[in-house]
Every structure is written in structure tokens, then in C-alpha cells.
Structure 1
Amino acid sequence: MIQLSERTKYFTDSVIRRMTRVCNQYGALNLSQGFPDNDPPVELMNSLSHVAHTGPHQYAITFGNPKTLEALSAKIEHFSGIHFDPASELCITCGGTEAMMCAVMATINPGQKIAIFSPFYENYGADAVLCGATPIYVPLHVPDFSFDPVELENAFKDGAKALILCNPSNPSGKVFTRDELLEIAKIVEKYDAFVITDEVYEHIIFTPHKHTYFATLPGMKERTIMCNSLSKTYSITGWRLGYVAAPSYVMDRVRKVHDFLTVGAAAPLQEAVIAGLTLPDSYYEGVRDLFTHRKELFCNGLKEIGLKFYEPQGTYFVMVDISEFGYDDDYEFCLDLARNVKVGAVPGSSFFKEKVNSYMRLHFAKSDETLKEALFNLSKIRELIKKK
């Protein structure tokens, strides 16, 4: 048999997206793959309807529709205080997934190393391998998923050229404090390195926690490649719109990679999304209030059931401790959960480099009715899943 690519041997298909197929197979409520079930803002839907009849329907400028880039630049500056030149420091991508791949490919050479906090969103490890890079995993320690600065610095001593920083963090729901980010900044400056940020959940933060854009820290804009997505903020995960924001000398490389990966994001969707990028602050306050309500509903329900979990500070994910059930294989546990309890979850091991099999990740980006049904099903978990 003809030999296939070696690099594709070292990771599986996405476990998160696989669990959606498992939910469909068993008729389980999908609290695994993190997409909201609420509609996009009406302004966005009306805009899409208008664009469907008026266009554009052909290629957009590869790096992004100029009007969309201008609206995006204004939106970023409004919330972060940082100005990114739409002509030279922004690129619209096919989702945050492509944004991250472009950032890694633009900054890391084959054979170089990249630091990744663990637990981590599963794409990061695959991104590194596909780029021919070697990931160095730095543990985040429970119960607050904090990092040890010595362990982080050791990754850079070992040759890491960049750190991938997900903040707010998927899967843990951690929001890094300003002091923690300043500690990271001190280390990356010392070792002349980059930070590649994933800030998809920037607007889903729970009081009293606050989101600090890493690029706003002293001297860090020149070291930050900001990756983001419009999917979660506007409830449009199927539109696949993301972006990279970075200094022009980095963006030049990012745009080259993007050009040959996908040519460009969908032109009609780029046009339509301007209506979202120009929404007033009240919209984002509504997003925060909605997910705060859902978090409280779901987490209070988990407490009543007696399941142990880590209270999220941001995102719409919660890590639940399943060690009481005695499974050696958390994937097997999640299959039994979908099959018998009719709730879909992601096995925690898919997020850890360390051998950890004692967690599942659930999400609460669903309607009250769906969350209450899921909690009712979970209330019977100890009857329907027998301890191993």
C-alpha cells in the first residue's frame, strides 16, 4: 500500500464534532458541540435576506470585504481601545479555525516548538502537528486552572517560539486575570516570542470577571496575533466567519497563508455581517445577560443533582467531574451517557495532554427548555449509569 502522510497519524478526527454524530445516533440532547440555539440578531437576518437578492455573490477581496474590515476595525477598537488598520492589519478568515491555522503557519517553522496550555481546545494540537511544529504542553492546575510561571518559562527555555492563549478558555471556562497576563507578557518578552490568542468568547464573561485583550498590555501589540470568530457572539456558527488581527509585518504572512488555504470567506456573508458589527453596546450586554442566566440555571441544576463541577468564569462550557462513576475510559462514559441518559457530552481527555479521564465537558448555550430537560435527564444519571 502507498504510504500516507505521517503527520496525519498523530491526531484523530475532532472528538467534539464526533459527539454530535453520537447525539444524533442516540437521540441525545447535544450539550457537546458548542453552538447556541438562539437566532442571530434580527438586524443580521434582515441584512442576509437583503444581500441574498442584491449580492455580492462572487469572490470578495481575498483578505476581506473592505467595508467589513472597516466595521470590524471599529468594533475591535471600541471594545479594546486598540486600532488595527483595516488595510494592513486585519484578515477575514473562514472561521476562527482557519484564523488559528493561518497564525500558526505564519509564525512557526517546521521543527520549531509552540507552547499550549492544557487543557486546551483540541484543534491547537492538530494545528501544531499539521504545521510540522512540536507542541509543548503547560498544565493549568485545578481548581482555578492557574498556571505555574516556572512551568511556563520552562517551555520557552525548551525553545517555544510562541504560546497559544485561549482567553476566556475553552474548555475550562477560565478568564485569565490581568496579573496572570502580565506574567505571560514578561516571559514572552524575555524570550522574544509571540502570543497567539483565541478570544472567541470575549463577550461571554460572568461578573465579577473581566476580559483583558492581551494586545492591550504594555509592549504586547507587536507580539500578539489575535484570532477570533464572529460565530459565538452573533450566534452564526454556520456562517464560518473569523478573523486575524496582527501587526502589518505579521499580517503580510498571515494573508499569504489565508490566500492559498481558502482564497476567501463567503462574500455575501461578509457583506451581511456588517449589520452585526455595527450593533450598539446594548446587544453585547444582552449576550452577557443571556449567558449569565443560562449559566446560573444550568450550574444550579448540577448542584441540586450533586454533580461536582468547576464554575465557569466565562464561555458557555462547564467541566464536570465524573470520577464517582469509576470509568477508566471517559469516552466510554460519554457513549453511555448519550445512549442511556440522552445527554451528549465531550470526554475531558480530548482536551488534556496529561492522562486525565475524570471529566466531561457540557455546554449551556441552549434554551431554558432544553437545559431543564437535560437537567431532568441528568438527575437520573446514577440510576442509568452504573458505577464501574
Structure 2
Amino acid sequence: MRYAARRVAQMPPTIFAEMTALAQRHQAINLGQGFPDFSAPDDIKQAAMRAIAADCNQYAPGAGVSALRQALAGYYRRHYRLDFDPESEILACVGATEAIFAAMLGLLDPGDEVILFDPAYDSYRPAIAFAGGIARSLVLRPPDWRLAPERLEALVTPRTRMLLLNSPHNPTGKVFSREELELLAAFCRRYDLLVVTDEVYEHLCYDGARHLPLASLPGMAERVLTVSSLGKSFSVTGWKVGWAVGPAPLVDAVHKAKQFATFCGATPLQTAAAEALAVEDDYYRQLAEDYRRRRDFLCQALAAAGLKPFVPAGTYFVMADISASGFIDDRDFCRALPEKAGVAAIPASPFYADPEAGRRLVRFTFCKSWPLLEEAATRLRRYFAA
């Protein structure tokens, strides 16, 4: 008897599950999976508790709590001068991952091709595959992860349907520049492509880098579905409150796929999210500055341990070259590190269509408390000095 469908039979557990399990087994400091270990802001926690106490505990509307959709309309207008109708152009989702998964199911037909940038977050390819689509990769290479226009053009075929863009980019920390975004916008207009943008790290930009939504560029609003979430900006990754915004036909297609998966997300958490989105800009500035300090500390610690970090312009991740570590394979490095050094990280090769392209790269996260980062630095220095 065959139990698993062929589409999942060969799918391994995510690399995050494997590395987190190793971290737990060896009581290692988890600098792999990107979840903060410090407290979320008190105001947002209090808002969730008030919503529960007020009995906001039944099913939310399929498109999301009205207060959240209204808050998102105001948020995009205030931050990016983008206007979305909360009734037809905003969809609340169970995290950004669900939004992207539903977007692939709702917007792709079997055989449609999607251009994405490697290294790519590991849920993108499975989502495309479940929809019957075909992923076509353009590899970004260190140290600057430059976008090569000539290689982009070479990926286009008559079946190209979509561009999937993540900026700020996980795992590299690249923030696509205005020049690069204008190039991508012209490319998408020329080939009449849909675009799904993953912008969950939109407020985590450093050293003068600024996040610019692709939807805000001329001629792009009609073809871009913008995805983001609450988790990274407010340290509530476990709430899984995300959203997709864009033109009504795109949002409707995503909603049609989503409705038969989760139908709706958690009502009290969506209600609290609506309050969180009203914070002043100072909150985001302070958040980015705090993370910048953590970034600098971790980069210095990795360099002191003999690794070669590529300083990120955004996100809360650092990619590092492990060539000088004595290891020649990222998976071997990351499987040994929790036991030998007491620190966990994520190998980069699972983020690539061709694993060889990431074989010498490892991703570390700095969304951890200062005591944990300091202890991790001590452990890494001790291990690599031995």
C-alpha cells in the first residue's frame, strides 16, 4: 500500500526543523531559526489579552477582521503612499508563508514558470511545485549579491508567468536598490508578468538602505501582490498574522485558494495586530537601530572565529563563508556545530536549486537577546580557536 502522495513522498523535513531539533538535543544556542527570544512589546500583548477578554474568540471573516483590514489600508497609505480598498484589496492570512502558498495556488496554472532569486527561502519552491508551476532561478552571488540583468533575460520563456521577489532578502540580507527595482519593474512590464513580493523584513534595513515596495513604482500596482506580516516587526512570529494586498483580481484569486485551507486566522490576534499597526514611526526606527547593533556584534564575533561574514543591509540574518573553518560542506558544518560548539546555524545549500552554489555558506541570525549573543560569541571563539 502506498500512503503518501507522490508530490510529498520525497519531500524531506524543512532544514529549520532539522537544525532546531539538533539545537535542542545538544542544548545549543539557536542562531539558526529566525525567531526572537526576547519579549514582544507590552502594548501588543495587552491588546491581544483585551481582545480575548472581550470575547473576540469566534471565526473571523474569511478576508480578515475588518479592523485589521482598515488598519492595513492606513498603514500602506502612511508608509508607502499606496491605496488599497480594505473590502476587496486586502486579505489577512495565517502568516506570510500561507499568503505565498495560496498565491501560488491561486495564480499559477500547471506548467507556468516563476522566476525567483537564489538563495531563496525554502518554502517558495514547494509552493510553486504544489501549484504545478516550475521554478526558474537566478543566483545572487556574494559578496554584494548583485542582480545581473543579462542572466534575468535568459530565464524568460513563453511559459514565464510570475516573478517572486523577496526584499529585504532572506537569507542574504540584501535590500534591492531603487535602480534594481526599476530594472525589475521594466522587465515585468515588458513581459507582462505578475509579481508576488515577500516584504516581511520591510522595517529591518540598515546603513541608509531603505525598503521600497515594487508596487509603488510606475505601472506596477496593477500586477503586484504584496505580502508581509506582523511577526518580524513586533517579535510575534508565533502569532502567524500575515496579509496579502494588491489589485482586487489578484487578492480574490488568492482568497479562493486560502478559503479551503485555513478559512481564517486567529480573531484576537488579528484584532491586536490592528492596534499594533498604528505605532509611530519612531518604533520602527528604534527597532532597526537595535538590530543594527546586534548585527554588528554578530558579524564581529563570526570574523573573530575565523569565518567570513557578509554584512547584511537588511533582515536579521548574516550569511558567512565557512571556507576557512576546516569544513568543506555547509551541512556537515551545521550538523557538527551544535554538539561541538554549542551553537546552531542553518546551512545555505537548501536555499538553492543547485546545492553546490551554497555549499560553503551558512546563515546565522542575530534576533536573540544580548546574553545569548554574547554567550554564542564566546562559544564560537572557543571552538574555532581550539
For the superposition of Structure 1 and Structure 2, which TM-score range results when normalised by the shorter chain?
over 0.9
State the distance in 2 between where 1:20 and 1:380 align. 22
Counterpart of 1:99? 99
298-307 or 38-47, larger mean C-alpha shift:
298-307
Contact 2:306/2:324 (<8 A) preserved = no
State the distance in 1 between where 2:45 and 2:346 align. 31
Counterpart of 1:382? 384
CA drift at 1:382: 2.3
State the distance in 2 between where 1:196 and 1:353 align. 19
State the distance in 2 between where 1:11 and 1:173 align. 27
1:332-351, aligned counterparts within 5 Å? Answer: 332-351=332-351
Counterpart of 1:150? 150
CA drift at 1:5: 1.9
Counterpart of 1:56? 56
Counterpart of 1:127? 127
270-279 or 151-160, larger mean C-alpha shift:
151-160
CA drift at 1:159: 2.8
State the distance in 2 between where 1:11 and 1:194 align. 27
1:149-188, aligned counterparts within 5 Å? Answer: 149-157=149-157, 159-188=159-188
**SS across alignment from 1:157:** coil
Contact 1:7/1:132 (<8 A) preserved = no
State the distance in 1 between where 2:163 and 2:383 align. 39
Counterpart of 1:69? 69
CA drift at 1:89: 0.3
Counterpart of 2:273? 273
1:359 to 356, 361, 369: 361
Q: What are the ranges of 5 or more consecutive residues in structure 1 without an aligned counterpart?
A: none
Counterpart of 1:293? 293
Given the alignment of the two structures, is residue 373 of structure 1 paired with residue 355 of structure 2, yes or no? no
State the distance in 1 between where 2:207 and 2:81 align. 21
What is the aligned residue count? 384
171-180 or 131-140, larger mean C-alpha shift:
131-140
Counterpart of 2:219? 219
Counterpart of 1:329? 329
CA drift at 1:4: 3.4
Q: Deviations over 1:196-230 (max 9, x none)?
A: 10000000000221111110011001111111111
State the distance in 1 between where 2:19 and 2:384 align. 21
Counterpart of 1:19? 19
Cα distance change on mapping 1:325 and 1:292 into 2, 3 Å: closer
State the distance in 2 between where 1:329 and 1:209 align. 32
State the distance in 1 between where 2:146 and 2:190 align. 21
State the distance in 2 between where 1:126 and 1:380 align. 38
Given the alignment of the two structures, is residue 118 of structure 1 paired with residue 115 of structure 2, yes or no? no
Given the alignment of the two structures, is residue 82 of structure 1 paired with residue 94 of structure 2, yes or no? no
Counterpart of 2:247? 247
If the length of structure 1 is used for normalisation, what is the TM-score? 0.96
CA drift at 1:326: 4.2
**SS across alignment from 1:2:** coil
Task: For 1:368, give the aligned amino acid.
Answer: W
**SS across alignment from 1:379:** helix
Cα distance change on mapping 1:84 and 1:329 into 2, 3 Å: same
State the distance in 1 between where 2:67 and 2:325 align. 53
State the distance in 2 between where 1:153 and 1:8 align. 32
Q: What are the ranges of 5 or more consecutive residues in structure 2 without an aligned counterpart?
A: none
CA drift at 1:10: 4.9
Given the alignment of the two structures, is residue 199 of structure 1 paired with residue 184 of structure 2, yes or no? no
CA drift at 1:98: 0.2
State the distance in 2 between where 1:361 and 1:236 align. 21
Task: For 1:382, give the aligned amino acid.
Answer: F
Task: For 2:359, give the aligned amino acid.
Answer: N
Given the alignment of the two structures, is residue 304 of structure 1 paired with residue 319 of structure 2, yes or no? no
**SS across alignment from 2:156:** helix
CA drift at 1:157: 2.9
Contact 1:125/1:135 (<8 A) preserved = yes
Counterpart of 1:37? 37
State the distance in 2 between where 1:46 and 1:196 align. 33
Contact 2:306/2:325 (<8 A) preserved = no
What is the percent sequence identity of the aligned residues?
34
Q: Deviations over 1:342-371 (max 9, x none)?
A: 100001111112213101100000111111
Task: For 2:335, give the aligned amino acid.
Answer: L
State the distance in 1 between where 2:325 and 2:281 align. 44
If the length of structure 2 is used for normalisation, what is the TM-score? 0.96
Q: Deviations over 1:362-384 (max 9, x none)?
A: 00001111111101111023256
State the distance in 1 between where 2:281 and 2:55 align. 28
State the distance in 2 between where 1:180 and 1:283 align. 28
CA drift at 1:154: 1.8
Contact 1:41/1:276 (<8 A) preserved = no
CA drift at 1:272: 1.7
Task: For 2:382, give the aligned amino acid.
Answer: K
